[in-house]
Structure formats: C-alpha cells, structure tokens
Amino acid sequence: MRILYIDIDTLRPDHLGCYGYHRGTSPNINRLASEGVRFENCYVSDSPCLPSRAALYSGQCGIRNGAINHGGVAADLYLDPAERGFRTLGSNFTAQLRQAGLYPVSVSPFGERHSSFWFYNGFREMYNTGKGGMESAEEVLPVALDWLDRRGGEDNWYLHVNLWDPHTPYRAPAEVGNPFANDPPPAWMTEEVRRRTWDTYGPGCGQEPGGCYTDPDAMAKWHDRMPRQIDSMASYRKWIDGYDCGIFYADQQVGRLRDKLAELGVLDDTMIVVSSDHGENQGELSVYGDHQTADHITNRVPLIVRHPQGVGGRGRVDRALHYQFDWAATLLQMLGRQVPPSWDGVSFCDAFRQERESGRDYLVVSNCAWACQRSVRWEDYLLIRTYHSGFKNYPELMLFDVAADPHELDDLAPKEPERVAEGIAKLERWTTDELNRSPRPVDPLRLVLSEGGPFHARYPDPKFEEYKQRLRETGREAFAEDLEQRRAQSR
C-alpha cells in the first residue's frame, strides 16, 4: 500500500465545492471526494497549528499530551520523566506507520516553523522547504514530485506533502489571476454582519484582520491580495477572493500529484488523503483570516479519503462526529496495527469497511494559542466556554446551532439555559476523564492562564498596552476599558 497525505494548511471545508461551496475552488479535490469518502464532521481536538499536529501525531488530546499553545510552558509535548527511556514517542503516528511496514517521508517546514522537532520522529526522510510556512506551492511541489520520480514506483510508502497557500498572507502567484472575479462572495456576509465585525475589538476583527492586531498595515504589506481592513463589502470581497485563490492554487497541486501517480502507474495502488490542521474564521466570531477560536469554523477540517480499491465507498459522505486522530487510528487498524493504548483516537475501521457511520456522541475541541476556549460539539449544537478571550469581546458562554447557523451569528446561550447546562456537564465529564488518564494532574489550560493567557494575546505582553492604545486612537476607548477590566478579573 502507498499512501499520499496532502496536508493543506488553514483549509476550511465549506470553501470546497464537494462541501457545497458555490465557487469553483477545488475541482481536483472534488474529484477525489467523488471517488472516495468525504467526512462531514471531522474536527481537530486542538487548534491551531502546533496543537493540532501534536494531537494528530500523538493520538491524544492536548489536555493529555500537554501541547496546547504556540509558546511558553504548554507549547511542547509532555514527556513523563519516569517513562522517558533511551528512545521515546514510539507510539506516535509516524512511528506506528513504520512498524506497519511503511516508509514515511515528509515534505514540510512545520517542525522548524514551530520548533516542534517531535514532528520529525519516525520519518525516514524529511524535506524542509526552508521558509517556515511562507512557501508557496511552486516551492513545495517540485520537492514532492522529485521524490515521487525517484521513489514513487516502490511499494509501501507514506508521503506527507504540506501546502500553505490558503494561510495568510494570501500568496497565489499573479499569473493565477482571480478566477472568482465574476462569482459573488459567500452570501451569509451582509453589510449588517460586516458592521458587527467592525464595531467591536480584538485580534482579527474588521479593523485589525489577519492577526497583526497592533499593526494592521503589516499584513497588507505582504501581498496585494489582502486589503488593510474589512471596511466595506468590497474589501471583504477582495479578502475572500485572496483566500479562495490560495485554495484554488493548492487544489491545482493536488491535481499535479494525482497526475504524477498516474504517470508512474501507481494511482491504482495509492490511498490519497486530503485534510488540514485547522479551518479559518472569515468573519465568524469577528475574526478574519486567522484561527483563533475553538469552534465549528477553526476546529472543523476537511477529510477526504480515496482508497484505490474503493474500500469505504465511492462518493460516500460520512456525517458522524470524528476527531481527526480517529481517522489515524482507523488507518493503523487497516494496516494491521493495534491502536496504542495511550491514544485518545478510536478506530472506526469496521464501520468504514462496511460503508456505514460510527462516530462519537460528542466532541470536545480546544484553542489555547489565541484565546483559551474549550467547546463541546454534540447533536447540532456547539457550546463555547471562554476562559481567556484573547483580547476579544466574548462572553464566558456561547451556544450555537451549527446546522441552522453554521457561521455562528445567533448566540442561543441566553435563551436556552438547559442546553447550556447539558453542554457544561459534558465538558466537565470529559475534563475529569482526560485528566484521570493523563500522566500529570495539572490541566495545561491552567498553566496557560497562569502565564497571563495564550501566547498571542497575553496580558503581560507589551502588545496588550499597545492594543489598548490603538483602541483609544481609533475611537474605541470603551473597549480599551473593557480590556483592562478583563485583565483585572483574571488576577
């Protein structure tokens, strides 16, 4: 068996045609979905970048593996000193693939970008494309295609190819143009909704999109596909066009990889998987062009699996609730491995082979790099609990019906206290169960809070004072006072 895993950074599923998007962003991914299984409700347990891949490769939620932040004490996998031997991390995903007889290879700068050197554990070959995630696809694909030319005809390999083009800054080459110039932007974003994202505050909001919240000019300087602010519907359209062009350009590379497999004569013996490390808020919860929340938008990812012999089905849609590492567990079982007992990942291999759904009753997803949030996803509902707002204008509890309101515009928490209580009970039960299985008794979320908050929005960071000053300079003095009150309450 050969396996090609295409890891497209910052790819939200609802901007793909196979997930219902009205723009033609993804003809090649759509084709794979028509030939395999598309997972409708796959979530990463922890977001964004570092915590997500830490969860996938360890098979554990961040509350247990310890890596939930982008810096500070909770930005590395926890290693129990009592169990740290001459070698460690033998249960991680890549090491398990090797034990299943595969030859794992990665084309990605991720390990260096986040100083996450555990990421390389188990790979036989690692190609760092060298720009720390600022690569465009024309700098990544030649490395992957060269490897396939040299080794792709061999059997039993696993090739991980990491594309970054949908991530800010939106970097599709000028020759791509704008294929969506005549297509309307997503209809859910109206002028009324845009104003709500403008008349507020926080990293990523309409006045500070993209994460550079103390200097919004910085993001726009990187590429002309990105407006400085979302100050009009025309600016919103330009912003979304930039994101969608990044997806379109990444999708072209998916087609090139597929064509290479066909050219080598191995397409009919290669499983192709397409997924991402997280989605991307594009106005939801007043965040544009970043991945700052534990919600339906940031933590939900595409997952498309095309098995060469059609195992799992052709053109089938799986709507059950899954963590991304549940698929990793399923793949291990398909390869004849037992899922390591240390994993949270649960295989649904039998159901997949029988072309039926078998998922979880509920999921708990987290983000502790831009805010400190944990959320429960069950039935059609998502309850978001905020422990640190990440300098944003969030209440402690929010409840959304993501089936009726996928863009999280109508907070039901004040109107449905019983459902809120149901979600809190699930969250508390999950937290207790996970900590009981953890090698350390301290919840890493509490460690992040003890440092003053998530790495990108800590109270002790000079950016806190800089952002309050920016709020005052832009006529949002009341929001600066609100931020100061939030800091006082956190002590």
Taking only the tens place, the pLDDT of each residue in 126-167 is 999 999 999 999 999 999 999 999 999 999 999 999 999 999
| pLDDT score at 84 | 86
205-238 per-position pLDDT tens digit: 999 999 889 987 776 666 789 999 999 999 999 9
Buried b vs exposed e over 390-416: b needs ≥16 C-beta within 10 Å? Answer: bbbbbeebbbbbbeebbbbeebbbeeb
The set of residues, in sequence order, having a beta carbon less than 8 Å from that of 207 and lying 6+ positions away, is 198, 201, 216, 229, 230, 231, 474
Mean pLDDT of the chain: 96
Helices (H), 267-338: 324-334
Mean pLDDT of the 418-442 span:
95
User: Using only C-alpha atoms, what is the Rg of the chain?
Assistant: 22
CA distance 268 to 266: 5
5-29 per-position pLDDT tens digit: 999 999 999 999 999 999 999 999 9
The CA angle 157-260-117, to the nearest 5 degrees, is 45
322-365 per-position pLDDT tens digit: 999 999 999 999 999 999 999 999 999 999 999 999 999 999 99
More confident position, 216 or 429:
429
| pLDDT score at 220 | 63
Question: Locate tokens 């395999």: which residue?
Answer: 36
Is the per-residue pLDDT at 243 higher than 70?
Answer: yes
**Which domains does the chain possess?**
2-360 (3.40.720.10)
Task: For strands 2-8 and 281-282, give the pairing.
Answer: unpaired
Considering the chain, what percentage of its residues have pLDDT values greater than 70? 99
Is the per-residue pLDDT at 98 higher than 80?
Answer: yes
